[in-house]
Amino acid sequence: MTEFSHDVLLDEPAYVPPARKADWLMRIGVTIVTLVCFLALFGPYIGPYDPTRTTIRIAEPPPGLTEIPGLMAGWIGGTLDHPPHWMGTDANGYDIFSRVIAAPRTDLKIALLANLLSLTVGVFFGLVAGYWRNWGTELLVRVSDVVQSFPVFILAMVLVALAGRSATNIIIALAFVYTPIYLRLTRAEVLSQTSRGFVEAARAMGNSELSIALRHVLPNSLTPALIQSSVTIGFAILLTAGLSFVGAGVRPPTPEWGLMISTGANQIVLGEWWPSVFPGLAISLTVFGFAVLGNALERRYEKG
């Protein structure tokens, strides 16, 4: 009984779906991710309202489907006294549509940076722990085990409570949570790479250990971590939203999908569905998009 613990999951190659399957799915994934990236760049500027300025209309429902053409005509014709609230307004009087399309800037920024940070740190320590195997690196792995066994949500909440609600602190909290995953992935890959011949060959050619680790082992061990990235970005968006939902997310009135859902959550039992349903739909599609993309990348990697 050697390496038999709960990390089996991560060491196993993913299932290989049959070729050519679900190409349309891949296209959906790419479309969603492209759209979200576009909104992250331009979303805050293209909405009809400033996403952080209240209007005097509190919790106004969105227009019914039949009213949309009329409103559209009025809007273009300039006969309305204010642009229509396509998704209604929330309990604070914000235009929901403008906030839904402005939010990717916040959500994607947090997810990308948290991922980049945990990827860098995790890969670095994974490489060290996999290449130089001694008691020090063993300790490193055990420490990361402890971090991983810590309840994710509570950890993130404590970290945010410690440092205050800000995007930076959420990025750090998420990175803390995800680093052990990259560390394990990379270490496992390094272990399998070093057992191949090329390390011996490089040694025989007189390369230094450091240069072998960096120039030969690292590039060959990076792929699983990079593939994991797409999945992690999706989950980081979920976790960011979840943190906002329990009051440990970004500060209001920053447009952020989880925060928007939580603003509307209280009133849903009273039938006010629009403040939470639209941002939730956005999260649902975005994370699905990243999951699809991640899966497609995984398949490419498995093939060749």
Q: Which of residues 249-288 bind another protein (CB under 8 A)?
A: 251-253, 258, 261, 263, 265-271, 273, 276-277, 280, 283-284, 287-288
What is the closest distance, in whole angstroms, from the C-beta atom of residue 134 to another protein in the complex?
19
Q: Is 116 exposed, middle or buried (0-12, 13-18, 19+ CB in 10 A)?
A: middle
Choose, by CB under 8 A, the member of 36, 119, 241, 297 that binds another protein.
241
Give me the least distance between CB of 6 and another protein, in Å please: 5
Q: Which of these ranges, 33-41, 120-128, 215-223, 232-240, lies near another protein under the rule CB under 8 A?
A: 232-240
* Rounded Cα–Cα distance for residues 298 and 295 (Å): 5
- CB neighbourhood size of 270 (10 A): 8
From 60-68, 120-128, 218-226, 247-255, span contacting another protein (CB under 8 A): 247-255
Angle at 112 between CA 157 and CA 102, to 5 degrees: 85
Evaluate the CA torsion angle 97, 103, 105, 111 in order and state its sign. Answer: negative
Q: Rounded to the nearest 5 degrees, what angle is found at the Cα of 296, between the Cα atoms of 294 and 26?
A: 105
Minimum gap (Å) between residue 237 Cβ and another protein: 9
Rounded to the nearest whole angstrom, what is the least distance from the CB of residue 99 to another protein in the complex?
12
- 282's enclosing H/E stretch is helix 274-303
Reduce the secondary structure of 99-115 to three states and give it as a string.
HHHHHHHHHHHHHHHHH
Query: Which of 61, 93, 124, 191 forms a contact with another protein (CB under 8 A)?
Result: 93
For another protein, which is the closer residue by CB, 221 or 228? 228
CB of 284 to another protein, least distance (A): 6
Q: Is 25 near another protein (CB under 8 A)? A: yes
- Least separation in angstroms between residue 263's CB and another protein is 7
**Half-sphere CA count of 29, side-chain side, radius 13 A:** 19
Q: Shortest approach of another protein to residue 259 CB, angstroms?
A: 10
Q: Work out whether 77 is an interface residue with another protein (CB under 8 A).
A: no
The conformation of residue 64, written as its DSSP 8-state character, comes to P
Q: Euclidean distance between the first and final Cα of the chain, in Å?
A: 31
Cα torsion angle, 36, 40, 41, 44, sign:
positive
Indicate which single residue of 3, 18, 64, 300 sits in contact with another protein (rule: CB under 8 A): 18
Which is nearer to another protein, 164 or 197 (by Cβ)?
164
Binders of another protein among residues 183 to 202 (CB under 8 A) are: none
CB of residue 224 to another protein, shortest distance in Å: 16
Distance (Å, whole) CA 222 – CA 217? 9
Counting contacts by CB under 8 A, is residue 301 touching another protein? no
Q: Which of the stretches 34-42, 87-95, 112-120, 128-136 binds another protein when contact is defined by CB under 8 A?
A: 87-95
Q: Closer to another protein by CB, 216 or 298: give it.
A: 298
Q: Does 162 bind another protein (CB under 8 A)?
A: yes
Name the 3-class secondary structure at 95: strand
Q: Is 90 within 8 Å of 260 (Cβ atoms)?
A: yes
Q: CA nearest 156: which of 180, 178, 185? A: 178
Q: In terms of CB distance, is 37 or 58 closer to another protein?
A: 58
Give me the 29-58 binding string for another protein, x by CB under 8 A, dash otherwise: -----------------------xxx-x-x
